[in-house]
Amino acid sequence: MLLKRLVPTEHYYAHDDWDRRTENVDLTFTTDAIDALADFAFRVNQSTQNIGARRLHTILEKVLEEISFHAPDPSVVKLEVTANYVRDKLAKIAEDEDLSRFIL
């Protein structure tokens, strides 16, 4: 699969990163994590209704759900989202097409 990454100046995860910094959490994404997010969104769009970038937004929300709603340990001020973390958070949804249709 040919992959071309388009990252605008004001991309979503940069905005989300800013929100985390206001909570004293420095959240970063590795390049392979961004690739994993895009790949997962692409595959789900291919197997279900193609809703484009809205799917990517929903997937990102799902991946960051635990970080967003469960405050990290106060001693942890820097978090890095990796491809393994993305795959771990989306594993159950990826296995079940009906679940991915419902949740994503």
Which two tokens mark 11? 């991309």
Banded model confidence at residue 7, pLDDT cuts 50, 70, 90 = low
Predicted model pTM: 0.66
Q: Over range 91-103, report the average pLDDT.
A: 64
Task: Say yes or no to pLDDT of 31 above 60.
Answer: yes
Architecture, CATH, for domain 12-103: Orthogonal Bundle (1.10)
77: left (phi over 0), alpha (psi -120 to 50) or beta: alpha
Query: 89: which 2 tokens?
Result: 């958070």
Phi, psi (degrees; rounded to nearest 5) at 27: -105, 125
Domain-by-domain residue ranges, the chain?
Answer: 12-103
Taking the C-alpha atoms of residue 89 and residue 66, their distance in angstroms, rounded to an integer, is: 9
